[in-house]
Amino acid sequence: MSTMKNFDSIVIPIAYLRRYFHEIPNKKVHLVAGSQLEKNMGVRFLQKNGFQVTGYSLTECTCTNHSKDMLV
CA dist 56 → 11, 23, 35, 50 (Å): 14, 19, 11, 17
Residue 32, pLDDT score = 93
Backbone angles phi, psi at 16, to 5 degrees: -110, 5
Residue 55: strand, helix, or coil: strand
Name beta bridge partners: 58: 33
pLDDT in tens, 17-66: 999 999 999 899 999 999 999 999 999 999 999 999 999 999 876 666 55
Contacts of 23 (CB under 8 A, 6+ apart): 10, 12
